[in-house]
A and B are shown apart, each in its own frame.
Chain A
Amino acid sequence: MPALLPCAMVEMRGLGAHSSPGPDANKVKRQSDYLHDSTAWRGLAGEHKVGRRHVLRLLGLGVLSVVPLPVLPSLLRAALSQGKVQARGPAARTPDGRIRQWAMVIDLRFCDGCQSVGKPPQCTAACIEGHFAPEPMEWVEVFEGELPGGGTQFLPTPCQQCQNPPCVNVCPVAATFSTPEGTVLIDQNRCIGCRICMAACPYDRRFFNWGTAPTPPESHLIGYSPEHQVPTQRGTVMKCDFCPDMARTGTLPYCVQGCPNHAIYYGDLEEDIASNGDQVIVPSRFLSVNQAYHLKEDLGTKPRVYYIAGHGEAVGRDVFKRDRLPTEWPWAERVKGAKTWKR
C-alpha cells in the first residue's frame, strides 16, 4: 500500500471540484451527502444490498465452521494422546450381578474421640497410615460438636459420598466424578487445581496439596489410581476415597479397622449388608430402628454416610469431657525438614 501513495498524491482531486465527471459523480455526491449528516451512516446501513449468492456462501461457510465443533475435543485429545485417565477397578457386584452401593454408618453412641484409649482418633490414624495421607490432611476428621443442651459429641467425618455431589457438579474438567458404586473419586492426573470443588463442598472434606506433601518413601512403591491417591501431586485436590478397592477384595476400610470401639460400619446397600469388623448388620433395618440421619440433610446432597445420634454414651463417655488428642503423622520424624502447612 505505501508504494501506491506517491501516485495517489499526484492525482489530486477534491470532492468540491470534480475533475472527472461521469458515472462517478453520483456516487461521490451520495457519499458526501452522507458525510454531511453525522448520523446518516447509521440509517444507510439498512440499504446496503447483499447478493443472494453472497448470503449462501456465508451460510455455507458458517455451517462448515460449526460442524467440526463437537468432534474437536476428541480430535485434540487424540492429538495429545491423553490415554485413559480415570483408571479404576471394575465396579463390584453382588453374586446376582447387581452393582454394589457402598455406604457407611457411623454410630456416634460408640464414638468417644478415642478419649478412653488415650490416643488421637484411631480411625484418622489408620486412614493416614493406610493411605499415606499427607500432613495436615485428615480425610476422616473427628470434629467435636456442641450439643444443644450442653456438652459435646465427637463426629468422625469422612467424605460424605453424596449422590447429588456439589463438588462433582462444579468441576470444570470432570476430574472429580461419581462412580457406579455411588462413591465420588478424584483423578489427580486431570485436576487443574482451581479449587472450586473446595468452595462447593459443604462438609469441608476436600484437601489441597498446597506444597509438596511430605510422605514416606514407601508410598512411592504403590501405583496411582483415583482409588488409591498415592503418590500425592502438588497443586491437586485430595479426599477420602471410601476404599472401594479394598472393599472389592473383602477388606474393610482402614478407618473401620482402626476404630477400637467398632463405631463405624461399612457395607453394601444393594445386598443390604454391612459390618464394623465385629458384627454384621442389615443396614435397612439398622438405620431405621436407630433413626439414622445425614449431616446437613436439608442441603439435599444425599450422602452415603449415615449417622446414629449419640455422644459416646455406649462406651461410657461423659458428655462434658471435652477435647480429643491432636492427630499425628507417623512419618513426621522420618521426613524431617519437609515443609508442611496448616489447614
Chain B
Amino acid sequence: METLGHDASGFRARGSFDAGEQPGGDRLERLIQTALAPVTGTSRGYYLWVAFLLMVIAWGIYAYSRQLQDGLIVTGMRDRISWGLYITTFVFFIGISHAGTLISAILRVSQARWRTPVTRMAEFITAVALICGALFVIIDMGRPDRVLNIILYGRWQSPIVWDVLAITTYLTASIAYLFLPMIPDLALFRDRLAGRAAAWRTWLYGLLAVRWQGTGAQWRSMGAAITTAMILIIPIAVSVHTVVSWIFAMTLREPWNSTIFGAFFVAGAIFSGIATLIIVMAILRKVYHLEEYITEKHFVYLGYLMAAFTLIMMYGNVSEYLTTGYKMTEETEFHFRQLFLEQFAGFYWFYIVGGLVVPGLLVLLPWTRNIWGVVVAAILVDAAMWVERYFIVVAGFRVPLMPYEPSTYAPSWVELSVVAAGFALFALLITLFVKVFPIIAVWEVAEDLEGVEITPAAGRLAPELAGGGGS
C-alpha cells in the first residue's frame, strides 16, 4: 500500500517548515534552499565562465580538426616517442576519476558520517573525468574512424581491450552509483520546482525521480541497491587503474617493466582524486555558499587522507627505484640519469618535493592545517600527479631500444590546445551538472540533522526529504 505515503504528506510537512514550527525545520529548509540555489538563480559570472570555457573548447576543436585533416604529424609525437600529452592526460583523467566513486564508496562502506556533504561532488567528478579521459584515447588514435574495430575485432589478449572493458564498466557503474542516492533529491527537486522552473526541468526531474514517493519499500530497494553498488564499485575502480597501468607494464620497456605498476597507479589515482575533490569542493563551496555544510573539518579530513597517500607514494617510489637501481642495468642507468639529473629532473623533483613532501607538510603542520593550506596542497598534488604521468609516459619511451640517438619530445600547439580543451570540458561538465542536479546529497545531510538535533520532528521531516509530495 505504497500509495499511502505518496499523496500529500510532503506538502503538509512543508507547510510546517514555512511556518517555522519545528526547530529543525529552519535548518532543513535552509539546507533545501542551499541545494536549490544553483538551480534557481544564475549569475552573470556564471555565463561569463561558461562562455570562457566554450571558447577554450572551440579552440581545441579547431586544433583537433587540423589534426584530423593533416594526421598526427601536427603533434610532437614521432616513432620513438609515440605517446605524449594525450596519453598523459588520459591516464591523469582516469586517475582523478577515482576521486569520486572510490572515495565516496570507501567512506560509505566505513560509515564515515562526515562524508555526506562531499559524496555527491566526488561522484560528479568520477563520471565527468571518465568521459574526458575516454575521449583522449580516441583523440590519440591515428584512425578514430575505425574505433568500432575494437568491438568488431577485439582481442581479449590486448591490454587496450581490457581498458575499454574496464572503463566502460566503471563509467556505467559510477553513473548508477551517482544516480541511485540522488533519486530522493531528484524527487525533492521535482516537487519543489514544479511550476516554478522551465518545462524541461520539470520533465527531467519527473523522469529521473522514477516515481519516488519515499515509501518504505522504495527506501529499502534504494538501500539495497546502494549497498550492492558501493561494494561492487570498489573492485571495479581498482581494476580500472590497474589495467591502465598494464598498457605500459605489458611491454618490454625497461622503465615500465615493473610488478608494482598496477598498485602504484591505483595509489596515484586515489591520491590525485582526493586532490581534485578538494579543489572542486573549495570552488563550489565558495560559489554556492556551502560554508555551513562543507566546513574546515571536511578539508582537513580529506587532507589527512591525502597526507597518508603522500607517504604511500613515497614508499612506492622507493620500492620502485631502489629495486631497479640496486641492479642498475644499462637501460635503468640511462633512465635514472634522464629522470634524476637531466631532461626530466625538473619534473621529477617537482613531483617529489612539490607534490609529495610539501603537500604532506602543509597538511600536517598545525599552522597550515586549514582550508587554504589544504587547497594549496591539493593544487600542488594535482599538478605533480599530471607531471608524474607525463614523465612515466615520455621518459619511458625515451630509453633507446637500439643503438640510436635518444629522441626528444616537445608537444605542439595542437596537443596543448586539445589538452586545454579537455580540461575546459571537464570544468564545463561540472559547471553544467551543478546547474541541473543537487550538489549536496540533501537527504543524507538531513539524516545527520535529524539524528543530532531534531529527532522528534524526524517523522515529519523525512518524507519531505524523500520528496514525499505529489505526482
Contacts and interface: CB of A to CB of B under 8 A. Distances in A.
A167 B5 CA distance: 62
A1 B462 CA distance: 22
Given A208-B79, A212-B71, A24 B463 contact: no
A177 B438 CA distance: 51
Nearest to A234: B71
B160 A196 contact: yes
Given A28-B5, A157-B402, A343-B80, A173 B72 contact: no
Contact of A234 (B142, B400, B402): B142
Given A2-B471, A41-B223, A146 B403 contact: yes
Interface in A140-176: 141, 143-146, 155, 157, 166, 169-175
B247 A196 contact: yes
B220 interface: yes
Interface in A2-19: 2, 4-5, 8-16
A211 interface: yes
Contacts of B227: 42, 45
Contact of A16 (B142, B152, B460): B460
Given A196-B158, A204-B402, A209 B142 contact: yes
B80 to A, nearest CB: 6
B403 A144 contact: yes
Contacts, number: 261
B401 A203 contact: yes
Interface string B103-146: 00000000100000000000000000000000001001111001
A172 B463 contact: no
Contacts of B2: 27
B80 A209 contact: no
A195 interface: yes
Nearest to A13: B8
A144 B161 CA distance: 37
Contacts of A193: 72, 141-143, 146
Contacts of B466: 35
Contacts of A10: 8
A14 B83 contact: no
Contact of A8 (B8, B150, B400): B8
B470 A190 contact: no
Nearest to A202: B252
Given A28-B4, A210-B72, A172 B158 contact: yes
A5 B5 CA distance: 14
A34 B219 contact: yes
A68 interface: no
Interface stretch (A73-81, A89-97, A119-127, A219-227): A73-81
B470 A9 contact: yes
B222 interface: yes
A47 interface: yes
Interface in B215-267: 215-217, 219-224, 227, 247-248, 250-253
Given A41-B222, A343-B79, A15 B460 contact: yes
Interface centre among A46, A192, A211 (most CB of B within 10 A): A192
Contacts of A5: 194-195, 469-471
A145 B149 CA distance: 40
A339 interface: yes
A155 B403 contact: yes
B13 interface: yes
Interface in A35-80: 35-36, 38-39, 41-42, 44-48, 73, 76-77, 80
B349 to A, nearest CB: 26
A339 B73 contact: yes
Interface string A316-343: 0000000000000000000000010111
Given A23-B1, A35-B463, A208-B82, A194 B142 contact: yes
A289 interface: no
B286 interface: no
Given A2-B206, A31-B216, A34-B219, A8 B7 contact: yes
Interface string A183-210: 0000000111111101111111011111
Nearest to B470: A8
A38 B471 CA distance: 25
A32 interface: yes
A65 to B, nearest CB: 14
B146 A192 contact: yes
Contacts of A173: 146, 149-150, 152-155, 158
Interface stretch (B23-31, B366-374, B451-459): B451-459
A216 interface: no
Given A41-B219, A172-B158, A196-B158, A8 B224 contact: no
A236 interface: yes
B354 interface: no
Nearest to A39: B111
B224 A45 contact: yes
B110 to A, nearest CB: 13
A42 B80 contact: no
A36 B216 contact: no
Nearest to A6: B470
Interface of A: 1-2, 4-5, 8-16, 20, 23-24, 27-28, 30-32, 34-36, 38-39, 41-42, 44-48, 73, 76-77, 80, 82, 141, 143-146, 155, 157, 166, 169-175, 190-196, 198-204, 206-212, 234-237, 299, 301, 339, 341-343
Given A45-B224, A208-B79, 18 more contacts: A2-B471, A5-B194, A12-B12, A23-B1, A41-B219, A42-B227, A173-B155, A192-B142, A192-B147, A193-B143, A195-B140, A200-B251, A204-B400, A208-B78, A211-B72, A301-B252, A341-B73, A342-B78
Shortest beta-carbon contacts, A-B, top 5: A193-B142, A235-B142, A211-B73, A35-B462, A8-B470
29 contacts: A1-B211, A5-B194, A16-B460, A20-B4, A31-B215, A31-B219, A44-B219, A76-B148, A141-B402, A143-B403, A145-B403, A155-B403, A157-B402, A170-B158, A171-B155, A172-B150, A172-B164, A173-B158, A191-B143, A192-B146, A193-B141, A195-B82, A199-B247, A202-B253, A208-B79, A208-B82, A235-B143, A299-B252, A343-B80
